């Protein structure tokens, strides 16, 4: 059987009373099914759609039973057929199960039924009925009852039953919608995380583009030294090769024991030793090889720092020395800040390692230091200071403070409140993407810290970062 439309009012009522006359009274009050066709035809005949239509609209689908057991069976059947009763009028005094016991079992089958106990006299008080049924939401009506009271109860309680089911339906729909919204929100969060990662990588690539010229120059210098050293070694090796050949000839002559030839060979060897400066050659070997090794290590360091900066972030925290992280960043951006820019460092040696994503913090320092260098131009000073956050001293110093200052061109006051906005930049298209400070802000916030800025035009800029030692907010 098809389920009823939940949007329609449920007018199904069951009457359980052992008095046949009273059952018929209920029927005459609540249902005029025998007269329905006549009323409908009368409305058509007299073109009157007031009283008959209203009467038709107020009719209830009434089921009559004479015993509690039969009433319980009807309720079971109604639940099985998905045609539940909205209201039950139950007589208190009946053969077999009384009204309270009948109501208890009905509620065990269908807890939504609205029950009205009807009786001229009952051995049970309302408190007794509540105790027996385990419910306190029943209604009471004394016999003899007024027909209008029955109608009012029927009308109000069927309306209430229908409204409750509608609320349940709406609540279930809302639950489904909430679950769908949670799924959508989860998908959006994943997309935002993916887009954020892509933006960070984009900003990294932009920073690498800015650094490319400087890094190429840094690599070119030690490579040139290596080439020069190797060319010098090659020249010296040729001289050693001539001497070695002379010694080999001497050995052959010694085997022939010809004194004159031996003397000539020795003179030649002496001349070669003098012309090629053997001792100087050996000394040059040592110093040149040391220089080559040094320059080679510099190249490896540059490549290592650049790889560390450009690679994807790791998914686990690490404890790192914040000073080592800043120094590595300074090495990577050396060409951006090397002209006549002085780097002044004031590190607090008492700071312990902090728990963080090293590559993410490196991104922040690179963004701030490159911005500082570009704001200065050719000549100026960048100051980097680390210390305990003063506000935390009283509770054990759980946060550190990093300040990066420059004496460059500064930022106008009317633009300060926008510098952390995505894609906002005061630089040209070729030198800025407008993502650096926005990404830096998000990284510091994700680490449970905060970043702030103070600046005025032509008076320099101070960026202050506060970071906790242990990060629990990501």
Which of 364, 456, 350 lies closest to 410, judged by CA? 456
Give 345's pLDDT tier (boundaries 50, 70, 90). very high
CA distance linking residue 159 with residue 86, whole number of Å: 9
As a whole number of Å, the CA-based R_g of the chain is: 48
Rounded to two decimals, what is the model's pTM? 0.41
Residue 333 pLDDT: 72
The length of the chain in residues reads 474
Give 417's pLDDT tier (boundaries 50, 70, 90). confident
Q: Which are the contacts of 370, defined by CB distance < 8 A and separation ≥ 6? A: 207, 210, 211, 333, 336, 436
In this structure, which topology does domain 318-468 adopt according to CATH? Heat Shock Protein 90 (3.30.565)
Could you give the C-alpha distances from 240 to 85, 354, 356, 447, in angstroms and in order?
114, 56, 56, 62
CA angle 295, 296, 300 (to 5 degrees): 115
Give 430's pLDDT tier (boundaries 50, 70, 90). very low
Say if 12-145 and 318-468 have the same CATH topology.
Answer: no
Could you give the C-alpha distances from 5 to 59, 157, 218, 242, in angstroms and in order?
18, 18, 79, 110
What are the pLDDT digits (tens) for 262-293? Answer: 777 777 777 776 776 666 776 677 677 777 77
Give 473's pLDDT tier (boundaries 50, 70, 90). very low
Instruction: Report the pLDDT averaged over residues 58-72.
Output: 90
CA distance linking residue 17 with residue 26, whole number of Å: 10
**Three-state DSSP class for residue 268:** helix
Which position has the token pair 């001349």? Answer: 271
Q: Which are the contacts of 154, defined by CB distance < 8 A and separation ≥ 6? A: 13, 30, 60, 87
**CATH code of the domain made up of 12-145:** 3.40.50.2300
Q: With 70 as the cut, is the pLDDT of residue 451 above it?
A: yes
| Whether the Cβ atoms of residue 130 and residue 110 lie closer than 8 Å to each other | no
Q: Would you kindly state where each structural domain of the chain is located, as residue ranges?
A: 12-145, 200-310, 318-468
Q: With 80 as the cut, is the pLDDT of residue 212 above it?
A: no
b/e per residue 339-353 (b: at least 16 CB within 10 A):
eebebeeebeeebee
Output phi, psi for 443, to 5 deg.
Answer: -65, -45
Q: With 50 as the cut, is the pLDDT of residue 128 above it?
A: yes
What are the pLDDT digits (tens) for 158-200? Answer: 999 999 999 999 998 898 888 888 888 877 777 666 666 656 6
CA angle 413, 210, 453 (to 5 degrees): 25
Output phi, psi for 454, to 5 deg.
Answer: -130, 135
| Whether the Cβ atoms of residue 78 and residue 12 lie closer than 8 Å to each other | yes
**Three-state DSSP class for residue 472:** coil
Output phi, psi for 181, to 5 deg.
Answer: -65, -40
- Token pair, residue 66, equals 């004479």
Q: What residue ranges in 158-311 does DSSP mark as E strands?
A: none
Instruction: Report the pLDDT averaged over residues 324-328.
Output: 88
**Mean pLDDT of the chain, nearest integer:** 77
């Amino acid at each position: 059987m098809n389920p009823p439309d939940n949007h329609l009012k449920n007018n199904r009522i069951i009457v359980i009373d052992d008095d046949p006359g009273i059952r018929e009274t209920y029927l005459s009050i609540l249902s005029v099914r025998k007269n329905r066709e006549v009323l409908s035809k009368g409305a058509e005949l007299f073109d009157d759609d007031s009283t008959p239509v209203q009467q038709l609209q107020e009719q209830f689908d009434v089921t009559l039973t004479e015993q509690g057991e039969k009433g319980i069976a009807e309720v079971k059947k109604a639940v099985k057929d998905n045609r539940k009763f909205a209201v039950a009028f139950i007589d208190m005094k009946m053969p077999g199960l009384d009204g309270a016991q009948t109501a208890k079992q009905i509620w065990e089958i269908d807890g939504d039924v609205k029950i009205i106990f009807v009786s001229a006299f009952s051995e049970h008080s309302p408190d007794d009925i509540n105790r027996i049924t385990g419910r306190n939401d029943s209604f009471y009506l004394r016999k003899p009852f007024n027909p209008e009271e029955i109608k009012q109860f029927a009308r109000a309680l069927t309306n209430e039953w229908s409204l409750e089911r509608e609320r349940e339906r709406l609540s279930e729909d809302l639950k489904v919608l909430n679950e769908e919204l949670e799924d959508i929100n989860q998908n959006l969060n994943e997309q935002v995380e993916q887009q954020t990662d892509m933006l960070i990588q984009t900003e990294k690539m932009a920073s690498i583009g800015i650094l490319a010229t400087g890094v190429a120059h840094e690599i070119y210098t030690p490579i040139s030294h290596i080439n020069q050293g190797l060319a010098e070694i090659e020249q010296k090796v040729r001289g050693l090769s001539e001497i070695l050949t002379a010694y080999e000839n001497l050995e052959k002559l010694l085997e022939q024991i010809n004194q004159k030839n031996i003397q000539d060979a020795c003179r030649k060897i002496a001349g070669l030793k003098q012309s090629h400066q053997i001792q100087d050659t050996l000394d040059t070997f040592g110093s040149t090889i040391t220089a080559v090794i040094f320059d080679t290590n510099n190249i490896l360091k540059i490549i290592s720092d650049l790889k560390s900066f450009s690679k994807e972030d790791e998914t686990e925290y690490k404890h790192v020395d914040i000073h080592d992280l800043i120094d590595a960043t300074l090495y990577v951006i050396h060409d951006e800040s090397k002209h006549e820019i002085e780097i002044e460092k004031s590190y607090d040696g008492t700071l312990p390692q902090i728990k963080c994503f090293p590559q993410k913090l490196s991104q922040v320092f690179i963004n701030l230091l490159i911005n500082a260098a570009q704001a200065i131009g050719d000549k100026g000073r960048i100051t980097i200071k680390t210390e305990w956050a003063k506000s935390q001293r009283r509770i054990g110093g759980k946060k550190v403070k990093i300040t990066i200052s420059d004496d460059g061109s500064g930022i106008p006051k009317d633009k300060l409140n926008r510098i952390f906005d995505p894609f906002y930049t005061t630089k040209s298209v070729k030198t800025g993407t407008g993502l650096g400070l926005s990404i830096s802000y998000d990284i510091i916030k994700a680490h449970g810290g905060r970043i702030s800025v103070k600046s005025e035009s032509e008076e320099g800029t101070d960026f202050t970062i506060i970071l906790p030692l242990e990060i629990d907010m990501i």
